[in-house]
C-alpha cells in the first residue's frame, strides 16, 4: 500500500460518510461537487469533505483507489458509492435513503422526500 493509498484508506475508515470533492462543502469548486455536497447538506448528513484541489496526491490517488476516473466520489461506511450522476440517480430513486438506512447513517427523510418531489 502506498502512502497516499494509506492516507485515503484512513480518511474513508475514520468517517461514516466521506465526499472527495473539488473544494469544500461550504465552497464547492465545481458544479458536480456542488450538486453532491448540496444533496448531503440538504439531507442533513454528517460527512467529511476532502478537497482534492488542496492535495495533488489525493486528487490522483482517489481515482486509482476507487478505479473511478472522476471527482466527486462518495463513500459510505467505507464503501464506494459513486460520483455525481450515480448519487443523483440514487437520491431520486430512494436508493440513497436505503443505503443510509442499511448503514445506520442518519439523515433527514423529509428532506430526501422533498428532493424527489421537486424533481418528479
Q: Verify cis geometry, omega within 30 degrees of 0, for the bond prior to 72.
A: yes
Where in 2-117 does DSSP place strands (E)?
Answer: 17-21, 48-51, 73-76, 79-82
Binding residues: 30
Feature table: binding site for [2Fe-2S] cluster: 30
Longest CA span, the chain = 44
β-sheet bridge partners, residue 48 = 18
H or E, element range at 103: helix 95-103
Q: Hey, what's the cell of 115?
A: 428532493
User: How many Cα atoms sit within 13 Å of 50 on the Cβ side?
Assistant: 26
Amino acid at each position: 500500500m502506498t502512502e497516499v493509498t494509506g492516507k485515503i484508506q484512513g480518511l474513508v475508515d475514520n468517517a461514516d460518510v466521506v465526499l472527495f470533492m473539488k473544494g469544500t462543502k461550504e465552497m464547492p469548486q465545481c458544479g458536480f461537487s456542488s450538486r453532491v455536497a448540496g444533496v448531503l447538506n440538504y439531507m442533513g448528513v454528517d460527512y467529511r469533505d476532502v478537497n482534492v484541489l488542496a492535495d495533488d496526491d489525493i486528487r490522483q490517488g482517489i481515482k486509482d483507489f476507487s478505479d473511478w476516473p472522476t471527482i466527486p466520489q462518495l463513500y459510505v461506511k467505507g464503501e464506494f458509492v459513486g460520483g455525481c450522476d450515480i448519487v443523483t440517480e440514487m437520491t431520486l430513486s430512494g436508493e440513497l435513503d436505503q443505503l443510509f438506512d442499511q448503514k445506520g447513517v442518519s439523515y433527514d427523510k423529509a428532506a430526501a422526500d422533498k428532493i424527489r418531489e421537486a424533481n418528479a
